[in-house]
A and B are shown apart, each in its own frame.
Chain A
Amino acid sequence: MKTNFLMLHTITRIVAFIILSFSVFLFFAGHNNPGGGFIGGLMTASALLLLYVSFDLKTIKRVIPFNYSTMIAVGLLIAIATGLNSFLFGDPFLTQYFEYYDLPVLGETELTTALPFDLGIYLVVVGVALLTILTIAEDDA
C-alpha cells in the first residue's frame, strides 16, 4: 500500500522555507541581537534535516546538490582568510574591523569583517551537522 505523504510534504515545504529564512535573519542579526554563525548554522541545518526526514535522501540530494565536506573546508578557509586579512594592516591575526556605510536601499549600514568570519562558522556548522547525520543515514551496512 502506498502511503500518501501529501500533507506532510506540503507543510514541510512551507515550514522549511520559513525556518530557512528565519535562520538567515538570525545569522545577520548576530552582531547586535541573539543569533550569529552558530545559531544560524544550526537552524539552517535543522531546516534541511526536516526536509531530509520528511522526504527521502535521494529526492533532497537532487534538490540540494551540496557537498557538505567541501562546505566545511570552504567555511574554514573563509574564517582563516578573514583572520589573515588583518596582516595586511599590520595587526595581529584575526583582528576585526568595522565601518558604517550609507548604502542604497538599506540606508546607513554597519559592515564588519566579523560577518565573513561568522559566515565561515555558519558554513562549518551546517556542514558538520549534515555531514555527520547523512553519513550515518547512508550507511546501510
Chain B
Amino acid sequence: MSTLHYLVLAPFIMAIFVPFFYKWFRNIHTGWFVLILPTVLFVYLLQYLPVGGPMEPLQLTVPWVPSLGINFTVYLDGLSLLFALLITGIGALVVLYSIYYIANKKDEPLNNFYVYLLMFMGAMLGVVLSDNLIVIYVFWELTSLASSLLIAYWFHKEKSRYGAQKSMFITVTGGFSMLAGFSLLYVMTNTFSIQEIIAQAGTIINDPLFIPAMLLILLGAFTKSAQFPFHIWLPDAMEAPTPVSAYLHSATMVKAGIYLVARLTPVFGGTAQWFWLLTIFGLVTLVWGSVSAIRQKDLKAILAFSTISQLGLIMSLLGLGSAAVHYDVAEVDMLYATAVMAAVFHLVNHATFKGSLFMVVGIVDHETGTRDIRNLGGLMTIMPITFTISLIGLASMAGLPPFNGFLSKEMFFTGTLNATTLDIFNVSTWGFLFPVLAWVASVFTFAYCMIMFFRTFTGKYQPEKLKKEAHEAPVGMLISPIVLASLVVIFGLFPNLLGYTIIEPAMQSILPNLLGEGDRFYVNIYHWHGLNPELFMTIGVVLFGMLVVLNLKRWQETTFFLKERDPLNRVYDSGLDGLITGSQRVTNFQMTGLLRDYFAFMMVFMIFLVGWTFIQFDALSFESLAMFDAGEVTPFLWIITLVLIAATVTMPFIQQRITGIIVVGVIGFLIALLFVVFRAPDLALTQLLVETVMVVLLLLAFYHLPELRKEKFTPRFRFTNLVISVGMGLMVTIIAFSVHALRQTSGFDPISDFFVEASVPLAGGYNMVNVILVDFRGLDTLLEVLVLAIAALGVVTLIKHKFKGGEDV
C-alpha cells in the first residue's frame, strides 16, 4: 500500500469518523472537520504536477484478487492527475460552501450528507486513479450509489426520491453494460489492466468482439455523462442540495464518462465507429441541451441542461480528436489533436465556471427563497458580489473574451473546422455539419446565458414574489465561488499556466502513441488569432444570440416554451410503469401462495434443465442396465430392498399418524441396514441413532398435530402430481444409470486414494470417514454444527416466542 492507495481510501476512512464528529461536537458544523481532508489531498496531489519536464506516469500495485487478475493498481498520469485535482480541489471548495449552505440545525442529518459526500469523493478518486477495469467498475458503481443517496438527501420530498431513483436506474444500467464491455475486453486481451490493454490495442482491433465491447462501454460512459438520450436523469438530479449539484452533477461525477472515453481512446480511437459515435452523440447532446436550456424557468434547470450540452461538447471534441490516432503523420495529427487539447482545456474551464455558477444559484436560492426566473429580477444592486461572480461565470460560459470559456470555444470551433478536412470515415459528405451544429449550439448557449443574467440581476425587483427579503450572502458562502471565478479570470488571461502542467500531460495520456520518445505536444493558447473563421463565428454567435434573446418575448407563449420537461421523460416514465406492471403480472401469475405450486415449478424446471443438459451433451446411457447381474444380489439384500420399496409405496396411503411414524421409522432402519451391507459402519450407526431420536421427535410433534386426513383431490390435481413425481423419479433413475455406466467406462481415479494414503501419516487416524470429518474437511463439519445450532435456535424461537399469524416477522 502506497500513499496513493491511502489517498483513495482516505475519504472512506474519514467517513467512518464523521458520525462521531457529528455526535460529539454538536456545536461545530461537521463540515469543518470534513474540509480538512480534500484540502490536504489537493495540496498533496499538487506536488505531482510536472514543472519543467514531462510527466512520468506512476504505477503502484496492491494485489486484490490475484487469481482473477484483479489488482488494485494505482496509475497516476496526466489525465488521472487532472481529474484527481478537480475532485479534491472542487471538493474542498464545495465542502466549504456547504458549511454555510446547509445550516447546522437540530434535525439536519449532516452526518449523512458528509458520509455520502466522502464516499463519493473516495469512489471518484478510485475511478480516476486505478488502472484495473474491475476496480474502476466497483468504484464507478459506488459513485452512482453516492450520487443517488445525495440526490435523495432531502428524502421527504417526493421529487428527490424520484430523481434519485431515476439517476440510479439509468447510471447503473449503463454501469452494468460497461462491466459487460470490460469483460469482453478481458476475453480479447486476457488482462484487466488498462495499460496492458493499450499495449495490445493494435492486435484486438480486428477481433469480432471489438465493436460490441466498444458499444457496451460507450453505453456506460454515455449514461454517466448524461449524453442524449440518457441525459434525462440530470435535470431531475437537481433536487439534490446545490453543493452536491455543483460537485457531482457538474464538475466531477458526470465527467467520469468523459474520463473513461479519454482513457480508452488509445484502445478504441482511430476507428470510424468510435469517431462517429462520439461525435454524433456529443453534437446532438450539445444542441439538444442548449436548446432545452432556453425554455427552462428554474435557474438550476438551466444549469442542468447547460451542463448536459457542455458535456456533449467535450464528448464530441474527444470524438473529433480520436481521428488523430488514425494517422501516423505527425503534422496531420497535430491538426486533430487540437480537438483533444480543446477537450481537456474545456474540461477545466467548465469545472471552474459551472462550479461558480451553481454556487451563485445556490446563493440566490438561499437568500431569496426561489430559483424561478419569473419571480427574480433586479438583484444587481442588492447582491453586488454575487452579481459580479455570475457575470464572470456567464460571460465565460457564453464564450466571451477575455475569459477562459472564450478560449476553449475558439478551440472547439477550430477543432470542428479542422475535422471537415478529414479524408477518412466518409467525413467529406457530412463533415460540414460539425461547424454548423457547433455554431447553432453556441448561439443558444449565448442566449441562455443572457437570459440567466438579465432575468436574475436586471429588471424590476419583485420582493412580493420572494419568500425572504433578499440580501447579500455571508462571506463564508462567497469564498468558494470567488475562488472559482478568479480562476476563470486567471485561466482566461494566462491560459498557458495550464499548458504544460495540466493540458499537455493529459493529452499525452489520451494520445500516447502519437509522439516519438521524449517529444511533447505543442501547447500555446492565446486570444488573438487574426481575422480567421473562428472569430467571425464568435461574432455571429453574439449577434444571433442577441437576436434570440430579443425575440424571446414573442416566442414565450408557444407550447415549446411552456413545456419545460424533456419529452424523453415520457419514454422513461412509461417504460418504468410498464416494467412495474409487467413484473407484477408475472409475479401474480407464478406467486400463487400455494406451496405445491412452488414445488411443482421447481421440480418441473429441474426435470427439464437436467434432462436437457444430459441430452445436449449426449450423456444418457443405459449400458449399465445390461450389467445387471441378479446373481450377485444376496437374498438378504433382496429382502431389505423389497421391504423398503413396499414400505415406501404405502406411505402416501397412510391415514393414521402412528402408522406413518412407524413406517417412516421402518424405512429409516432399513436404510441403516443397507449401510451395513454396503460397508459403511459410521453411516449405519448414525442413521440408527438419528432414526431413534427422530421417532421420539415425531411422536412428540404428531401428538399435537391432527390426524392425516384422506385428501380429496380433483383428478387433474392427482394426475399432475403423478406425472411430476414419476418424472422426478425417472430423471433421477436415468441419470444414475448414466453416471454408473460412465463410472465403469471412463476410468477416472476416485480421489479417495488420497485419503487411504494420507489418513495415517497426515492425520494420525485409522477411521477415514472420521478423519475426513474432523481433519481434512473440518471446516465443513464446523459449519454443519453451526447449521444444527441455528436450527435448534429456530426451534426454540418458534416455540418460546410464539409469533402470531398476523404479525409481520
| Interface of A toward B, CB cutoff 8 Å | 26, 30-39, 42-43, 45-46, 49, 53, 69, 72-73, 75-76, 79-80, 83, 93-94, 96, 98, 100, 110, 112, 114, 117-118, 120-121, 124-125, 127-129, 131-133, 135-137, 139, 141
Contact = CB atoms under 8 A, between A and B. Distances in A.
Given A36-B682, A114-B774, A125-B785, A93 B765 contact: no
Interface of B: 681-682, 685-686, 689-690, 692-693, 696-697, 700-701, 704, 763-767, 770-771, 773-775, 778-779, 781-782, 785-786, 788-789, 791-793, 795-796, 799-800, 802
A136 B782 contact: no
B796 A69 contact: yes
B686 A42 contact: yes
B700 A133 contact: yes
Contact of A76 (B690, B697, B785): B785
A120 to B, nearest CB: 7
A33 B789 contact: no
A56 to B, nearest CB: 14
Contact of A128 (B682, B700, B789): B789
Given A72-B792, A121-B781, A137-B700, A110 B764 contact: yes
A131 B795 CA distance: 9
A72 B790 CA distance: 10
A80 B783 CA distance: 10
B764 A125 contact: no
B693 A121 contact: no
Contacts of B685: 26, 34-35, 39
A36 B693 contact: no
A117 B693 contact: no
B682 A39 contact: yes
A72 B775 CA distance: 21
Given A46-B689, A46-B693, A31 B796 contact: no
B766 A135 contact: no
Task: Give the interface SS of chain B, mostly helix, strand, loop or mixed.
Answer: helix
12 contacts: A36-B767, A39-B682, A42-B690, A42-B692, A43-B689, A69-B796, A117-B781, A118-B774, A120-B785, A127-B789, A128-B788, A135-B800
Contacts of B773: 36-38
Given A39-B682, A42-B693, A110-B764, 14 more contacts: A30-B767, A32-B766, A32-B767, A34-B681, A39-B685, A45-B689, A72-B792, A73-B789, A76-B786, A93-B779, A98-B763, A118-B774, A124-B788, A137-B700
A31 B764 contact: yes
Contacts of A49: 692-693, 696
Contacts of B765: 31-32, 98, 112, 114
B696 A133 contact: yes
A32 to B, nearest CB: 4
Contact of A96 (B682, B697, B778, B799): B778
A69 B766 CA distance: 33
Nearest to B802: A141
Contacts of B767: 30-36
Given A30-B767, A137-B700, A79 B782 contact: yes
Contacts of B785: 75-76, 79, 120-121, 124-125
A33 B774 CA distance: 14
A38 B697 CA distance: 18
Contact of B792 (A33, A46, A79, A128): A128
A127 B792 contact: yes
**Which 10 pairs from chain A and chain B are nearest by CB?**
A98-B764, A42-B689, A32-B766, A34-B681, A94-B778, A31-B765, A124-B785, A128-B792, A114-B774, A36-B770
Contacts of A30: 767, 770, 774
Most chain A Cβ neighbours within 10 Å, of B697, B764, B767: B764
Contacts of B704: 136
Contacts of A69: 792-793, 796
Contacts of B764: 31, 98, 100, 110, 112
Most chain A Cβ neighbours within 10 Å, of B686, B693, B800: B693
Given A31-B766, A39-B685, A131-B792, A80 B696 contact: no
Nearest to A79: B782
Contacts of A93: 779
A117 to B, nearest CB: 5
A134 to B, nearest CB: 10
Contacts of B802: 141
A67 B792 CA distance: 13
Contacts of B763: 96, 98, 112, 114
A31 B764 CA distance: 8
Contacts of B771: 31, 114
B799 A136 contact: yes
B397 to A, nearest CB: 60
A37 B774 contact: yes
A38 B789 contact: no
Contact of A124 (B690, B696, B766, B789): B789
B623 to A, nearest CB: 35
Contacts of B766: 31-33
Contacts of A43: 689
A117 B788 CA distance: 16
A33 B759 CA distance: 13
B689 A80 contact: no
Given A42-B693, A112-B765, A96 B789 contact: no
A132 B704 CA distance: 15
Nearest to A92: B779
A135 B693 contact: no
A53 B692 CA distance: 13
B796 A135 contact: yes
Contacts of A96: 763, 774-775, 778
B151 to A, nearest CB: 43
A55 to B, nearest CB: 14
Contacts of A127: 789, 792
B715 to A, nearest CB: 38
Contacts of A124: 785, 788-789
Nearest to A31: B765
A12 to B, nearest CB: 14
Contacts of A100: 764
B682 A132 contact: no
Most chain A Cβ neighbours within 10 Å, of B697, B766, B774, B782: B774
